[in-house]
């Protein structure tokens, strides 16, 4: 086994992310983004009540949630806010331009975070690979508990129309299963 694996890194040399679950659920004209509050360092809970979901933009019409390094996420929030201002609040255009910068800029390329962003029209996942993904079915989740929350939300979506109920229940499931996710949930709604 090479050094990268023995040092707790993945096959690309990156330290695996442990912590957080963020989910976005869009139903009709309502979108909810929810996230847990746990900040972990290794196997230790450093803070149980962090706020990883917030409103951004001049008028607060965009909600963003992040998974990954906090300082990196705040840098990305600031960059996205500048792009929103530059492109008159058009989230899709601002997200694409941020993704381009994130992928090509020497400094931004090293940022380790994922984001879910939403406004009244779109729910998007942004990655450092330059991806701007609009999830099929109006449900997206990121972070260490993201797959648990995503599976729960998809199962619930056949029986529930309220995006907040879906997001809250999916977060509860993730908190029960993922040790890096807790039940102190922040929820922001648009629409």
| Residue numbers annotated as active site | 20
CB count within 10 Å of CB 130 equals 15
Crossing angle, helix 146-157 and helix 163-177, to 10 degrees? 140
Q: What is the dihedral of CA 9, 10, 12, 13, to 10 degrees?
A: 0
> By the 8 A CB rule, do 116 and 123 touch?
yes
* Residues near 176 by beta carbon (within 8 Å), at least 6 away in sequence: none
Token pair belonging to 68: 């990954």
Cα 128 from chain centre: 12
């Amino acid at each position: 086994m090479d050094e990268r694996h023995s040092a707790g890194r993945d096959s690309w040399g990156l330290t695996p992310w442990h912590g957080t679950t963020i989910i976005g659920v869009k139903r009709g004209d309502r979108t909810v983004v929810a996230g847990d509050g746990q900040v972990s360092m290794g196997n230790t809970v450093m803070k149980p009540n962090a706020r990883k979901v917030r409103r951004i933009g001049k008028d607060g019409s965009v909600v963003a949630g992040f998974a990954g390094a906090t300082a990196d996420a705040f840098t990305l929030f600031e960059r996205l806010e500048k792009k929103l201002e530059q492109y008159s609040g058009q989230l899709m255009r601002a997200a694409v331009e941020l993704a381009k910068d994130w992928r090509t800029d020497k400094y931004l390329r090293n940022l380790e975070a994922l984001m879910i962003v939403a406004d009244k029209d779109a729910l998007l996942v942004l990655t450092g690979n330059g991806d701007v993904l609009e999830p099929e079915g109006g449900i997206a989740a990121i972070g260490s508990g993201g797959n648990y929350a995503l599976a729960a939300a998809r199962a619930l979506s056949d029986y529930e129309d309220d995006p907040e109920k879906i997001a809250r229940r999916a977060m509860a499931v993730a908190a029960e299963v993922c040790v890096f996710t807790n039940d102190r949930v922040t929820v922001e709604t648009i629409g």
